[in-house]
């Protein structure tokens, strides 16, 4: 699939409730992928790290596309029927930020030049 085809593919369903549920799942999947990569780094498992990195990169691209779509449709999600899921999404995004910070802490030593 070309990058132009990827930008034309939508991640979130048209139905607002389903779109919000999908955004929640995509966020959970990216958190899990970050944790998987961090664990592989912590265990110094190079093969698992390579596989986890590929998985994380795929999940990250999916998350970025979903987030872009979600933001363009954010007015759809305002109101009572979606508040609990929106609160969950806010909590998941805070969790994602924390996991990404931990993950970067493990990745940083790998990116520094060795003397």
Is the confidence at residue 42, as pLDDT, over 70? yes
DSSP class of 9 = S
**Alpha carbon 65 to its chain's center:** 10
Q: Distances from the Cα of 62 to the Cαs of 22, 35, 57, 79, in angstroms?
A: 11, 17, 9, 26
Rounded Cα distance between 43 and 14, Å, is 41
For the entire predicted model, the pTM comes to 0.87
How do the domains of the chain map onto residue ranges?
16-110
Kindly report, residue by residue over 15-27, the tens digit of the pLDDT.
Answer: 999 999 999 999 9
Kindly report, residue by residue over 48-84, the tens digit of the pLDDT.
Answer: 999 999 999 999 999 999 999 999 999 999 888 999 9
Rounded Cα distance between 10 and 111, Å, is 33
């Amino acid at each position: 699939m070309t990058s132009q085809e990827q930008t034309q593919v939508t991640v979130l369903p048209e139905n607002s409730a389903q779109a919000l549920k999908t955004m929640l799942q995509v966020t959970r999947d990216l958190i899990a992928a970050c944790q998987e990569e961090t664990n592989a780094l912590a265990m110094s498992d190079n093969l698992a790290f390579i596989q986890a990195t590929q998985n994380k990169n795929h999940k990250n691209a999916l998350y970025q596309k979903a987030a872009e779509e979600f933001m363009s449709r954010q007015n759809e999600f305002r109101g009572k029927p979606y508040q609990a899921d929106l609160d969950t999404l806010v909590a998941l995004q805070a969790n994602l930020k924390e996991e990404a910070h931990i993950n970067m802490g493990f990745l940083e030593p790998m990116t520094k030049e060795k003397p």
